[in-house]
Each structure stands twice: as structure tokens, then as C-alpha cells.
């Protein structure tokens, strides 16, 4: 079989090859749940070997950047699982710091991908003073955006807030407070274990009572209750969730169902149907050829080295080579 990353005489519009990527599916990647007769619902995300497959394709990244990327992947998978949509849901952080772009997206069928764009020179300057930089130190000042893109036929929904907080969890909480007007608690964990990189997220949400979500959105499990009882249930759920450690979240030896049982078994825990997650890079020669077709001849000549143009997918970190003579640029 020909290597799809190498130059090909086949016309670009006929080339739909993609490079070899890990064939990884995590059947129970996202486990939704709710607490019976309480205004609390949530999702537990465990990426398992999928985290290592995505993060491991960027070996040059500093461990602090890898952790940030893993947290973004777990967070995006968890938020996407709460929506009913066709298309993709993405989280994007853009700042003036060392990581100028952090992006993760998840499709409606659970295909997950992400990348971080890093200024290596600035990172090298920072490390002697801060060997384990926080998300705030890496991202700097900027914005956090969550986008639901259902294709050209549907209007995109996007929420944008300024980056506030030290950790990605805190930044997300700030988004919920200011943009969604939704009470939520987010715990994120990512780290390198003996089995490889792992990433996880526990997302709790307080379901609106009367005057908020419609009954079908709340679910029959949550009858109307007084505000004081609601707040007490919410405080209890948050306190229980806060006892969960990063080590537990990243431990392959403990199932998601077991973790939730440990936390909420006395609170009327009801587990939902798990959602699968999979390696989700969607690059191809045809897509990248289309991008090259938008450049003028002078720009294409500048990109070429030894008669070839190499384009690297930022998600899977694989380079595609195109012969300059075969690439037709945009007309002047």
C-alpha cells in the first residue's frame, strides 16, 4: 500500500487517504449519572489509553503542556456528551502566553482530537524559574471559547469569556458563572502513569428547578423541591466530589462505575448509558491539498523545499508531502 503522506500523481480531488492513526475506542469513555430526587447530574470522563494515543503523538511537548492538553481533551469530551447535536463541539483557549492556542474537539459520535501550539523559546526562558508552570502561566491573558458547530446549514453556538483562574478547571468554572449562568463544578486530572498518559474529568451540574429547565430536560428523576433543600443537595454533592483524588481519576484499575459508587452510593446514584470515545483526527491529503489551493504561486514557491511542500497536521503530527509542480495555487 502506498504511503498517503508521500507525493502522489493522483489528482488531489481523488485523494481521500489519511495516514495511519491509532485504532482506539474507549467503550465507556463518558459515563453520565444523576442523583435521584436531587437537582444534580454529571459526567465522569476516563480517556484511558486514548489520552496516551493523542498526547503521545507530540513527544516534544513539555509535561506541563501535555497535562494541559490532556485536561482539555477530557473536559471537551465531558461537555460534548451533555449536548444533543450533529457535528462537533470544541474548546479553544487563545492567549498571549507560551501556549498561544489550545484546542480540543469532539464529534457527536465521540471522535476526539486536540493540539497545543507552543512557543518553545519562551518556554525555555520560563522553565528555570517555574519548572512546572500552571495553565495560567502557559496561556497568559486571552479568552476561552466553547463552540457547537453543526455544519453550514445550522447556526453555530459559541460562548466566549476572558481567561480567569490558575487552572483549566477554574477557567471553566468562570465560564459557567458568567456565560451559562449555570452552577457547575469541574475536576480535571491528567498525568503520566506506568500505563502511559491518562486524563479524566468529573463534571457536576446543578439542574434548574421550577422556572428553569423544562421537565423533559430535567428528567422524571427530579421532582420539584424547595430552594433550600436544592442548595443543600448541591453542597453535599460538591463536597463528596471534592474527595476524589487525581490518583483515583487516573487509575485504570478502578472502573468509572466503581468511582461513582464510592462517591454517591448513599445519595441515590443513577448511572446512565455510557458513551464511547475514539481517536478522532480527520486529516487527509484531499483536505490539505484544498488548503494549498488557496495560496498564490509566490507563496507556494516560498513553501517548497527541494521541489516539495510539506504540510503537517497539527492534530496527529504527521507530515504530507506535495510535489510543487502538481499544486495549482489560487488565480491572481
User: Is 59 in contact with 51 (CB distance < 8 Å)?
Assistant: no
| Max CA separation in the chain (angstroms) | 72
Alpha carbons 309 and 305: distance in angstroms, whole number: 6
CB 73 within 8 A of CB 104: yes
Q: How much is the pLDDT for 257?
A: 96
> Of 307 and 123, which is predicted with more confidence?
123
Mean of the per-residue pLDDT values of the chain: 85
pLDDT digits (tens, 9 = 90+) for 182-196: 789 999 999 999 999
Find, among 199, 55, 198, the residue nearest to 114 by Cα.
55
Distance CA 206, CA 237 (A): 9
Residue bearing the bigger pLDDT, 175 or 288? 175
Tell me which architecture the domain covering 1-21+283-332 has in CATH: Alpha-Beta Complex (3.90)
The pTM for the full model equals: 0.83
**pLDDT tens track for 212-268:** 333 444 444 555 458 888 899 999 999 999 999 999 999 999 999 999 999 999 999
Residue 303 · residue 312 · CB < 8 Å: no
Extents of the domains making up the chain: 1-21+283-332, 25-279
Q: 3-state DSSP call for residue 285?
A: helix
pLDDT band at residue 8, thresholds of 50, 70 and 90?
low
- CA distance linking residue 324 with residue 304, whole number of Å: 6
The helix (run of H) or strand (run of E) holding residue 185 is strand 184-193
Which CATH architecture does the domain made up of 25-279 adopt?
A: 3-Layer(bab) Sandwich (3.55)
pLDDT for the residue 314: 77
Q: pLDDT band at 149, cuts 50/70/90?
A: confident
What pLDDT score does 73 carry?
A: 97
What percentage of the chain exceeds 90 in pLDDT? 57
Lowest mean pLDDT among 103-117, 121-135, 155-169, 242-256: 155-169
Question: Cell 495511519 belongs to which residue?
Answer: 20
Give the Cα separation of 184 and 291 in Å (integer).
Answer: 39
pLDDT number for residue 220: 47
**Which parts of the chain fold into alpha helices (H)?**
49-55, 63-80, 120-126, 135-139, 168-175, 215-218, 227-241, 246-249, 256-264, 285-292, 297-303
User: Pseudo-torsion of CA 296, 297, 299, 304, nearest 10°?
Assistant: 140
Report the residue count for the chain.
Answer: 332
Amino acid at each position: 500500500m502506498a504511503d498517503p503522506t508521500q507525493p502522489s500523481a493522483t489528482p488531489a480531488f481523488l485523494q481521500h487517504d489519511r495516514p495511519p492513526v491509532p485504532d482506539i475506542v474507549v467503550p465507556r469513555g463518558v459515563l453520565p449519572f444523576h442523583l435521584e430526587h436531587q437537582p444534580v447530574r454529571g459526567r465522569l470522563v476516563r480517556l484511558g489509553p486514548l489520552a496516551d494515543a493523542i498526547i503521545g503523538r507530540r513527544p516534544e511537548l513539555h509535561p506541563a503542556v501535555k497535562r494541559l492538553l490532556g485536561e482539555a481533551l477530557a473536559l471537551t469530551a465531558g461537555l460534548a456528551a451533555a449536548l444533543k447535536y450533529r457535528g462537533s463541539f470544541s474548546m479553544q483557549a487563545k492567549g498571549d502566553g507560551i501556549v498561544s492556542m489550545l484546542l480540543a474537539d469532539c464529534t457527536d459520535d465521540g471522535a476526539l482530537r486536540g493540539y497545543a501550539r507552543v512557543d518553545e523559546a519562551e518556554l525555555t526562558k520560563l522553565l528555570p524559574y517555574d519548572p512546572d508552570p500552571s495553565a495560567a502561566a502557559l496561556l497568559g491573558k486571552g479568552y476561552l471559547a466553547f463552540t457547537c458547530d453543526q455544519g453550514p446549514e445550522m447556526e453555530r453556538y459559541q460562548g466566549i469569556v476572558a481567561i480567569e483562574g490558575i487552572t483549566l478547571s477554574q477557567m471553566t468554572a468562570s465560564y459557567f458563572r458568567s456565560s451559562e449562568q449555570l452552577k457547575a463544578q469541574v475536576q480535571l486530572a491528567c498525568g503520566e502513569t506506568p500505563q502511559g498518559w491518562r486524563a479524566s474529568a468529573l463534571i457536576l451540574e446543578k439542574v434548574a428547578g421550577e422556572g428553569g429547565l423544562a421537565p423533559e430536560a430535567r428528567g422524571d428523576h427530579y421532582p420539584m423541591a424547595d430552594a433550600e433543600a436544592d442548595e443543600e443537595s448541591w453542597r453535599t454533592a460538591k463536597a463528596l466530589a471534592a474527595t476524589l483524588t487525581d490518583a483515583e481519576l487516573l487509575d485504570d484499575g478502578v472502573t468509572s462505575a466503581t468511582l461513582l459508587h464510592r462517591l454517591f452510593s448513599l445519595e441515590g446514584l443513577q448511572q446512565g448509558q455510557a458513551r464511547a470515545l475514539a481517536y478522532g483526527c480527520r486529516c487527509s491529503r484531499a483536505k490539505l491539498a484544498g488548503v494549498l489551493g488557496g495560496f498564490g504561486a509566490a507563496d507556494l514557491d516560498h513553501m517548497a523545499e527541494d521541489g516539495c511542500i510539506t504540510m503537517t497536521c497539527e492534530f496527529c503530527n504527521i507530515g504530507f508531502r506535495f510535489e510543487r509542480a502538481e499544486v495549482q495555487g489560487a488565480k491572481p
